[in-house]
Amino acid sequence: MKRLNIAVIGVGYIGYHHARILKTLDGVNLFCVVDSDKKRAEEVASEFDCLATSDYHEVINDVDCFCIATPTQSHYQIAWDCVNHGRHVFIEKPITDTSQEAASLIQLCHKKGVSIQVGHVERFNPVFKMALTLDKKPLLFYSERLSPFLERARNIDVAKDLLIHDIDLILTFMRVRGLDTTIKKINCNGICVVTDKPDVVMADIEFSCGITAHIRASRIERDRKRMMTIYHKDGYITLDYQNLIYTTFKKDDISFQDSHLKLKDELLKEELNSFINAIRHNTPVVVPADEALEALMITEEINRILGEDKA
C-alpha cells in the first residue's frame, strides 16, 4: 500500500497535534510541516523527523494532501492554492472566513475532482454517534458550549469559534432524519467583553419544519461545558460531550438512565484517520465542505444580526 505524503500548514497549538497524530498513522508519511515562523516549523520538524519550510508552495508538488491549521482568515487562499494543484485538503473549522470564499472553494473542488474535509471534530464524539441512533423526531434542541478565554482565539468571534460546533451537530442530526434544515427565523443576543468581537452569544433558531434550537456559547467562563439536550415527544436525551455521558429521560415512568461512554482513541486521531481513509479509498469524507458551508452561513447571519443590533 502506497503511503500518502501529507504536509501540515500551520503548526501552532492545533497544527502541532495534527502533525503529532499524522506521524503515528499507518500508511501516512508526514512529509513536511509548514509555518510562517520558520524557527517554529524547524522545531516541530525536528521532533517528528520531517521537512520544514515557511512556504507551502515549495512542497505542493511533493505531497498528496494538506492539513490546514492556520488562522481562519488565511484558510481560503491556502486551500485554493492546494486544491488548484489537485491536492486533497483537511481544513480546521470554520472552513473559511466567509461563505463566499467557501462556495468558491467548493466550486473549485468539483472542477479539480478533489475532496475537502472540515474539522468539526465533535461529529466523532461517541455521545453524538449514539444520539444519531435515536429513533425519535427532535422537537427542541438546547445547547451550551462554554470555555475559559484563550488568547489564541482573539482573531475570531465566538460564533465561528464555539457556536458553530453545535450548529453543525444540530444540522447533522436533522439531516440524518431527512428533516428540512431551512431556517425560518433567527433571534440572538451577544456581547463583547474581552475582545472587540462577540465573546458571548445566545441564539434562537427556528427551522421551517417547526423545530427550534436554543444555543448558548461563551468563551469567558471559569469552567468548560459542552452539553446538548434534544427533546422529543417521549422525553429527551442529554449529551455531555466533555464527560462522555449520554442521559435518557423517559416520560412514561419519569426515569433517567446514564450511559458512560469511552473514547476508542483521540477524537482528532479518529477524525484524521477518516480523512486519510476517504482519500485512499475514494469515498465521501465525513464532514464535506458543503455541510461546513451551511453551518458557516448560519454563524454569519447571527453575526450580521448582532452587528445590526450593535449599530
| 268: pLDDT strictly greater than 50 | yes
pTM above 0.75, yes or no: yes
Q: How far is CA 291 from CA 30, 123, 165, 171, 245, in A?
A: 28, 12, 12, 8, 26
145-198, pLDDT tens digit by residue? 999 999 887 888 999 999 999 999 999 999 999 999 999 999 999 999 999 999
Cell of residue 247, nine digits: 442521559
Report the C-alpha gap between 66 and 237 in whole angstroms.
37
The dihedrals phi and psi of 150, each to the nearest 5 degrees, come to -120, 125
70-120, pLDDT tens digit by residue? 999 999 999 999 999 999 999 999 999 999 999 999 999 999 999 999 999
Contact 117, 92 (CB under 8 A): no
Contact 66, 90 (CB under 8 A): yes
Q: Which domains does the chain have, with CATH numbers?
A: 4-120+267-286 (3.40.50.720), 122-265+297-310 (3.30.360.10)
pLDDT level of residue 311 (50, 70, 90 thresholds): very low
